[in-house]
Chains A and B, each alone.
Chain A
Amino acid sequence: MSNAETNVAGTALLDDPHAEHGGNGHDPNLAHHFDTPEQQYTSAKLGMWIFLGTELLMFGGLFCAYSVYRHNHPEVFVYAHKFLDKWLGAVNTVVLITSSLTMAWAVRASQMNKSRLLTVLLILTIIGGYGFLGIKSIEYHQKYEHGLWFGGSNIFSESYIEKVGPKEFEKSVEHLEHTTMEPSHAGGEAHAGEARGGDAHSEVIGQANGEAHGEAVAGHEAVAGAAATSQPTLKTAAGFSDPNAGLPDEAKIKPSFESPAGLAPEVAAADPHHHHLSFEELALRDKKNLATFFNIYFFMTGLHGVHVVVGMSLIYWVLLRSVGPRGRLYVWPLGLASVGVFLLYLIIITHYMMLAVWGGAVLLFSLLWLVRNLTIANSVEEGHGEFSRDYFTPVDLVGLYWHLVDLIWIFLFPLLYLIH
């Protein structure tokens, strides 16, 4: 605001024309209501930490909802998490942690007056964000392809089952288990199924686990009352459910003895601990609740993804301020190109090809813009950007936000992908 002129025009006699803008009128980065840069920095930092606290509380509420649901339905999580690709998740964790490193380094670079290094590191951080979202897009697309999308587009959802009928539904679940689960994930049953040709799946289970299990399966398919009797057998938390629990001792058949012919010996030996639930083993109520796992997955990762996008935008804003006028000639087109990249990610998720027209157009346009700016770059003065060892607050605060985004993912990854 240009207050000084107004006041001079009145009767104000100011010792220093900048007195209103800064306590001593020399620092352009010092807002008028602060006395010292230190006071301004402390305020900004405190404000950011408080804001990060609110973010944590918001995600805290979400984690709380997650915990309540998982506590009430442990088997849903044990079974359904196997459809998530933990390798892609792990790679994403590494990508995000690396981008946190470059961000922290960027803060350091700005404190040490290394403006070129700062720019490079900010760009690397943004690229890290692109890596994360790109991998996430691939994951989302896989879910979409497999019918594990949210809401009614999930094959476990009630509306889907109603649409295709129970027979078709069982088939598609079986197909899903065979196509999406890694061998070690699918456990003994899947191996057995493969060994005997797949179609005889339920029959194999019957043979493998003995009569008692056959009863349990019958229970699931019958009314809820019958299902209730088999529920205690599935209440174990470790991912291994003894199908014979609650039966007289003499009827118990230990799973480790039941490896069918053709199964590799080491798998058979590890069976009791690496046994994973199959769909057939789930209690009726858990079968009905499987879609909720995917809803929770998409809600949590989606909200986190929104935070990643916000964080990237903030880093981009810092990047713009970290370069001089000439640097901005390059940074602006790159920002527009980012919009094109986001459109490409949407194509990866949805395979909606019309988006390619828009994405391509945006990318082409930003490329043309960049080329045009390259030609005029020589006539623009070189500059160093706004940040220096005296003023690096925005870099610092945006860095904090980015670390928070990273931290939330570090909690999300084990909670969703690594369940035992």
Chain B
Amino acid sequence: MSADAGTIPYKEPGMPRPQHVVDLHDNYLNHSKGIKSWLLTLDHKRIGIMYMVGILSAFFLGGLFAILLRTMLWSPVVMVPGNEQIASSSYRLYNHFFTLHGAVMVFMFIIPAIPAILGNFILPLQLGAKDVAFPRLNLLSLYLYATGALFFSFILLSGVLHAAFNITLPGGFGLDTGWTFYTPYSSSKAQGNVVAATLGAFVLGFSSILTGVNFIASIHTLRPKGMTWFRMPLFLWALYATSIIQILATPVLAITLLLLAAERSIGIGIFDPAMGGDPVLFQHFFWFYSHPAVYIMILPAMGVISEVIVAFSRKHVFGYNFIALSSIAIALLGFLVWGHHMFVSGQSPLANVIFSLLTFSVAIPSAVKVFNWLATLYKGDIRLKTPMLYALGFMMLFTIGGLTGLFLGALAVDVHLTNTYFIVAHFHYVMMGSMLFAFLAGMYYWWPKMFGKMYNETVGVIASIIVFVGFNTAFFPQFIAGSLGMPRRYASYPIQFVGYHRASTIGAYTMGLGLVLVGLNWAHALLRGKKAPSNPWGSNTLEWRTPSPPPHDNFPDAPVANDPYDLHGWEYDKATENWVYNEHAAGATAGSH
């Protein structure tokens, strides 16, 4: 800015917002009608819902291929004289399957799911604001996501069609590099359409960056009266930390993918040893993004858990400052550990030792969170509703996933375990178990607010138990198989691993069944669900102080924030099944402290 930045002659600051009487039947869903009013909307809530449709479709696609590849692994296909043809085509198909599963799940589901769906919908509501800071940018990032996702899945699917039925679509031969695009599998030795796939991922990354920019600016400038930084809901802290990672890491992925596209198309040479380049440099670049990306996946999940645990323990969160700052600590430390993906890639021993040490240090803020949640639960008035069941599941799965991460961070152990199913199990416990459980917890928790409809509690509970059992059946055996030496990414395996693989496959089917039940429950809630009250869980964050579903402008009057986890004064009203705020009770209990 120029020198007179301090003296820009602005008009008088606006008066307090006028109080309007708002039609209680007006909400963001029926505010305007027609397909155009959705496609061109600038309303963060509608954008969140459209993200939900896209991201759940991506989840379905990725899940379908998870089931397919688990089915392929039911029995090993051994290459013996006579069946080379069948075996090699089956192996090729397997490569396409797991690439599609991994790439779709990572880039199109896990990374955007919580920030783009729940973040978009809930963040302005929790801020007591009318929208995010840049609504147009928000819509643009939705369209970038849609474009990138359609393009990317088209490329991947055309590869599957080619491998399975020998049908060649314009998408060419798809992608069989795994989601990591390691050179030279993705450059000189690639068989697929790497350039197109990287462009798809590039566009998806752009969408992620714009969402991050939007959230940071919103949290900085749109907080309402009374909401200081340390009175923000923990979900906002988590989204803030996530956005920091998104804007710091994703640009590096962008340039990595561009360089990879150049490597593949013109042979730029930076990653090619024949031209003086360094293939390990690609791994450095890739993991400089993709390791922090792991925290893009898990941090918002942790934010959801903080909200849910408080609401269903009926107790103030324990150690607010520690949970809030541990999110930032994880975000920053997460940038210093990427080298632990390359312990066996020929990195120098000194670098290995440093990265190993730093990796252990990330365990500290993660554990801080888990212990604070446990302390919140302690002596709480715990209600085992569906969101809470998922949150408790998260805590168990995240603990297992996190602690097995320490095995892998230890140098000597990692040499044994790297590139085995142990890693597959570890990151599924963290990325899939933890993140998916938190996502489901958040979806159930905010479902009444988003759609104004209640889901069926009994079905929700049953489905959550099925998903939990299925998940552990699928992935716990993989820890054992991996420690016994079952390598990851292989289309076939020695016969002694057949038991583990079949257990995994049965678990995958079970989890698939549970998730179908979840989907049916949601569909039923949408069509036949009971009308939801404004605050079905008795939470004190601002989004529960507006009708469900919220009106177009979010709040009839601009709310004033207080301590988001002070639950005193909220009383359950049996007649309306709603929690209502009783100021008298709040004063009385507050006084007794």
Q: Which residues of A contact B (CB under 8 A)?
A: 1, 3, 6-7, 10-16, 19-20, 22-24, 26-27, 30-33, 35-39, 41-47, 50-51, 53-62, 64-65, 68-69, 72-73, 76, 104, 107-108, 111, 150-152, 157-158, 285-286, 288-289, 291-292, 295-296, 299, 303, 389-390, 396
A389-B254 in contact (CB<8A): no
Can you sample 15 A-B contacts with CB below 8 Å?
A: A14-B20, A19-B17, A43-B222, A50-B216, A50-B217, A61-B255, A65-B285, A104-B2, A150-B266, A151-B266, A157-B267, A286-B276, A292-B269, A295-B267, A296-B268
| B131 at the binding interface (Cβ < 8 Å) | yes
Q: Mark B405-439, 1 if CB is under 8 A from A, else 0.
A: 00000000000000000000000000000000000
A62-B278 in contact (CB<8A): no
Q: Mark B261-276, 1 if CB is under 8 A from A, else 0.
A: 0100111111000111
Residues 248 to 262 of chain B near chain A (Cβ within 8 Å): 248, 250-252, 254-256, 258-259, 262
Known: A6-B32, A42-B221. A58 touches B255 (CB 8 A): yes
Stretch at the interface among B21-29, B165-173, B321-329: B21-29
A33-B11 in contact (CB<8A): no
How many Å from the CB of B296 to the closest CB on chain A? 14
| B31 at the binding interface (Cβ < 8 Å) | yes
B213-A50 in contact (CB<8A): yes
How many Å from the CB of B233 to the closest CB on chain A? 19
A111-B213 in contact (CB<8A): no
B15-A292 in contact (CB<8A): no
10 nearest interchain CB pairs? A23-B14, A151-B266, A289-B276, A292-B269, A33-B130, A61-B255, A58-B251, A57-B251, A33-B131, A295-B268
Known: A47-B137, A54-B251, A62-B255. 12 other contacts (CB 8 A): A16-B18, A43-B134, A54-B247, A58-B252, A65-B281, A69-B277, A73-B276, A289-B275, A296-B268, A299-B258, A299-B262, A299-B268
| B135 at the binding interface (Cβ < 8 Å) | yes
B15-A24 in contact (CB<8A): yes
B213-A54 in contact (CB<8A): yes
Known: A46-B217, A396-B1. A295 touches B15 (CB 8 A): no
Which DSSP category, helix, strand, loop or mixed, fits chain A's interface?
helix
A35-B134 in contact (CB<8A): no
B276-A43 in contact (CB<8A): no
Known: A291-B269, A299-B262. A47 touches B17 (CB 8 A): no
How many Å from the CB of A37 to the closest CB on chain B? 5
| B389 at the binding interface (Cβ < 8 Å) | no
Name the one of B21, B247, B256, B270 contacting A12, with C-beta atoms under 8 angstroms. B21
A111-B2 in contact (CB<8A): yes
Residue among A10, A30, A76, A295 with most chain B CB within 10 A: A295
Which residue on B lies nearest to A73, using beta carbons? B276
A46-B220 in contact (CB<8A): yes
Residue among A16, A45, A65, A158 with most chain B CB within 10 A: A65
Known: A23-B14, A61-B252, A65-B259. A39 touches B129 (CB 8 A): no
B18-A14 in contact (CB<8A): yes
Contacts of A1 in B (CB 8 A): 32, 42
Contacts of A68 in B (CB 8 A): 270, 278, 281
In whole angstroms, what is the CA distance A11 to B276 when docked? 72
| B214 at the binding interface (Cβ < 8 Å) | yes
Contacts of B346 in A (CB 8 A): none
In whole angstroms, what is the CA distance A76 to B258 when docked? 23
| B133 at the binding interface (Cβ < 8 Å) | yes
Contacts of B251 in A (CB 8 A): 54-58, 60-61
Contacts of A53 in B (CB 8 A): 247-248
B18-A33 in contact (CB<8A): no
B14-A35 in contact (CB<8A): yes
B259-A390 in contact (CB<8A): no
Known: A43-B222, A69-B276, A390-B10. A295 touches B269 (CB 8 A): yes
Contacts of B247 in A (CB 8 A): 50, 53-54, 57
| B8 at the binding interface (Cβ < 8 Å) | yes
| B553 at the binding interface (Cβ < 8 Å) | yes
Known: A76-B276, A292-B276. A15 touches B8 (CB 8 A): no
A15-B20 in contact (CB<8A): yes
In whole angstroms, what is the CA distance A27 to B213 when docked? 25
| B552 at the binding interface (Cβ < 8 Å) | yes
| B34 at the binding interface (Cβ < 8 Å) | no
B13-A35 in contact (CB<8A): yes
In whole angstroms, what is the CA distance A245 to B252 when docked? 41
Known: A20-B553, A43-B222, A65-B270. A35 touches B23 (CB 8 A): no
B216-A12 in contact (CB<8A): no
Which residue on A lies nearest to B265, using beta carbons? A151
How many Å from the CB of A11 to the closest CB on chain B? 4
- Residues of B in contact, count (CB < 8 Å): 68
Contacts of B256 in A (CB 8 A): 61
B217-A47 in contact (CB<8A): yes
In whole angstroms, what is the CA distance A51 to B251 when docked? 10
Contacts of B265 in A (CB 8 A): 151
In whole angstroms, what is the CA distance A13 to B22 when docked? 7
In whole angstroms, what is the CA distance A174 to B225 when docked? 73
Contacts of B285 in A (CB 8 A): 61, 64-65
In whole angstroms, what is the CA distance A296 to B258 when docked? 12
In whole angstroms, what is the CA distance A68 to B266 when docked? 20
Known: A36-B10, A291-B269. A51 touches B254 (CB 8 A): no
| B9 at the binding interface (Cβ < 8 Å) | yes
Contacts of A35 in B (CB 8 A): 13-14, 17
Contacts of B19 in A (CB 8 A): 15
In whole angstroms, what is the CA distance A296 to B124 when docked? 43
In whole angstroms, what is the CA distance A32 to B20 when docked? 15
| B395 at the binding interface (Cβ < 8 Å) | no
Known: A58-B251, A61-B252. A46 touches B266 (CB 8 A): no
In whole angstroms, what is the CA distance A19 to B18 when docked? 7
Known: A54-B250, A62-B255. A24 touches B281 (CB 8 A): no
A43-B11 in contact (CB<8A): no
In whole angstroms, what is the CA distance A389 to B251 when docked? 34
B11-A37 in contact (CB<8A): yes
Contacts of B248 in A (CB 8 A): 53-54, 57
A33-B129 in contact (CB<8A): yes
Residue among A37, A57, A286 with most chain B CB within 10 A: A57
How many Å from the CB of A266 to the closest CB on chain B? 36
| B209 at the binding interface (Cβ < 8 Å) | yes
| B583 at the binding interface (Cβ < 8 Å) | no
Residues 20 to 48 of chain B near chain A (Cβ within 8 Å): 20-23, 25-26, 31-32, 42
In whole angstroms, what is the CA distance A60 to B359 when docked? 24
In whole angstroms, what is the CA distance A46 to B219 when docked? 11
A24-B14 in contact (CB<8A): yes
In whole angstroms, what is the CA distance A31 to B222 when docked? 13
Q: Mark B63-83, 1 if CB is under 8 A from A, else 0.
A: 000000000000000000000
Contacts of A299 in B (CB 8 A): 258-259, 262, 268
How many Å from the CB of A143 to the closest CB on chain B? 14
A38-B278 in contact (CB<8A): no
In whole angstroms, what is the CA distance A36 to B21 when docked? 22
In whole angstroms, what is the CA distance A61 to B252 when docked? 6
Which residue on A lies nearest to B131, using beta carbons? A33
Known: A33-B131, A76-B276, A303-B258. A27 touches B26 (CB 8 A): no
Which residue on A lies nearest to B255, using beta carbons? A61
Name the one of A30, A51, A59, A286 contacting B255, with C-beta atoms under 8 angstroms. A59
Known: A7-B26, A43-B221, A53-B247. A36 touches B14 (CB 8 A): yes
Known: A7-B26, A12-B20. A288 touches B134 (CB 8 A): no
Contacts of A56 in B (CB 8 A): 251
Q: Mark B204-248, 1 if CB is under 8 A from A, else 0.
A: 000001001110111011100000000000000000000000011
Known: A7-B23, A27-B11, A43-B133. A57 touches B252 (CB 8 A): yes
Contacts of A24 in B (CB 8 A): 14-15
Contacts of A58 in B (CB 8 A): 251-252, 254-255
A10-B20 in contact (CB<8A): no
